[in-house]
């Protein structure tokens, strides 16, 4: 049988463990897999773009396990009361090809995005950051804030969004989180004096959410909203003057902030810093950017983490046939064999 984790199952699991503990554990799995980056079979995601959004398949394998995620990105969905991003994933045994786990990944993707953001900031930001600015308070905002609190011990989070209802939502959800939450009236107010800035906007266009005049020495920028061709958040002059770190360079060249830059613009893959083969931040005044578009290895880590947790949440599903004769698939089309009368009497008497 194949284990299934639905949205309600994952929600219950996170609540039982505690969201901050879950984020720390998830970041630990992601870091472990990044340190073994070279053992993975990797490819840029397969994307189908339309006028309204994108549908993508994201595969990764370490030779023992294979993971694949289906994910969409449709910014206009909220007008119909639907989520901008939804996803589900599969973790399979490479030896047999059998799926071990089928999981919702709408919630899990939000959790893993926040975990990898905080992991990158812990690796690249200046020491002892205190303040996080969050530009864009959609579905990702609270996860980002709590991940930075859990992994970097951020004390204050400043929030800004052009949608006052989204801002209200984020402030309400973060009340009682242990963070000092500050609602800001502009990007400039949120960013001024912040140690780390996360941009997580949904507009499907090349926009300048951050401009060079807002950037201060020593800032770490976590750009996660620019995640498809033609969609960016940072003014190109910011990117040009910073040290830029990415997940999988071939994919980020197409989808990330660096799609604005020349093909030979230098970047460093984050796994190299975690593995000790490349340098991260070089000085306290340096501006660093994690140009994150999301990559399949992170989904692999997330599915592996969920599989390894206590199995009390979720249930088994009969996704695959179970046959007495593995060569006789057609037997599933035949009516069940009747139980002989003598056998029926024995069953009733017992």
In tens, the pLDDT along 97-119 reads 999 999 999 999 999 999 999 99
Where do the structural domains in the chain lie, given as residue ranges?
2-107+299-317, 116-294
Least confident interval from 67-71, 192-196, 312-316 = 312-316
Question: Which residue shows structure tokens 């996860």?
Answer: 143
In tens, the pLDDT along 225-259 reads 877 788 899 999 999 999 999 999 999 999 899 99
In tens, the pLDDT along 316-350 reads 888 988 888 999 999 999 988 776 665 555 555 65
Residues, the chain: 350
- pLDDT at position 78 is 86
The CATH class of 2-107+299-317 is alpha beta
Segment 57-75 shows an average pLDDT of 95
Do the domains 2-107+299-317 and 116-294 sit in the same CATH topology, yes or no?
Answer: no
Q: Tell me the catalytic residues.
A: 227
Residue 204 has pLDDT above 80, yes or no: no
Q: How confident is the model at residue 85 (pLDDT cuts 50, 70, 90)?
A: confident
Buried b (16+ CB within 10 A) or exposed e, 150-188: bbbebebbbbbbeeeebbebbbebbeeeebebebbeebe
d(CA 338, CA 347): 14
More confident residue, 176 or 350: 176
More confident residue, 73 or 62: 62
pTM for the model stands at 0.91
Cα-based torsion angle of the residue sequence 300, 301, 305, 307 in order, rounded to the nearest 10 degrees: 10
- pLDDT at position 348 is 59
Segment 207-220 shows an average pLDDT of 96
Domain 116-294 has CATH 3.40.50.720: yes
Residue 174 has pLDDT above 80, yes or no: yes
User: Distances from the Cα of 158 to the Cαs of 89, 193, 201, 218, in angstroms?
Assistant: 33, 11, 15, 18
């Amino acid at each position: 049988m194949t284990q299934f984790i639905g949205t309600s199952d994952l929600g219950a699991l996170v609540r039982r463990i505690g969201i901050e503990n879950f984020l720390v554990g998830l970041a630990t799995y992601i870091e472990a897999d990044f340190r073994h980056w070279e053992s993975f079979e990797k490819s840029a995601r397969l994307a189908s773009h339309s006028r309204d959004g994108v549908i993508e398949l994201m595969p990764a394998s370490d030779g023992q396990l294979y993971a694949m995620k289906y994910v969409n990105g449709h910014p206009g969905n909220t007008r119909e009361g639907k989520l901008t991003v939804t996803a589900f994933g599969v973790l399979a045994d490479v030896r047999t090809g059998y799926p071990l786990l089928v999981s919702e990944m709408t919630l899990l993707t939000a959790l893993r995005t926040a975990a990898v953001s905080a992991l990158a900031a812990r690796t690249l930001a200046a020491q002892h950051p205190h303040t996080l600015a969050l530009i864009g308070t959609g579905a990702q905002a609270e996860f980002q804030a709590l991940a930075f609190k859990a992994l970097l011990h951020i004390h204050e989070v400043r929030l800004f969004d052009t949608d006052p209802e989204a801002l209200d939502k984020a402030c309400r959800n973060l009340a009682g989180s242990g963070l000092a939450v500050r609602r800001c009236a502009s990007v400039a107010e949120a960013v001024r004096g912040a140690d780390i800035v996360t941009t997580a906007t949904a507009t499907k266009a090349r926009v300048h959410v951050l401009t060079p005049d807002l950037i201060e020495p020593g800032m770490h920028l976590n750009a996660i909203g620019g995640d498809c061709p033609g969609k960016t958040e940072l003014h190109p002059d910011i990117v040009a003057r910073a040290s830029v770190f990415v997940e999988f360079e071939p994919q980020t060249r197409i989808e990330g902030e660096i799609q604005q830059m020349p093909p030979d613009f230098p970047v460093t893959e984050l796994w190299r810093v975690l593995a000790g083969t490349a340098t991260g931040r070089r000085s306290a005044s340096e501006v660093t950017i994690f140009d994150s578009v999301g990559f399949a290895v992170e989904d692999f880590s997330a599915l592996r983490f969920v599989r390894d947790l206590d199995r009390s949440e979720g249930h088994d599903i009969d996704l695959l046939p179970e046959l007495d004769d593995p060569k006789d698939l057609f037997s599933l089309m035949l009516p069940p064999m009747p139980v002989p009368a003598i056998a029926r009497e024995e069953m009733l008497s017992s």
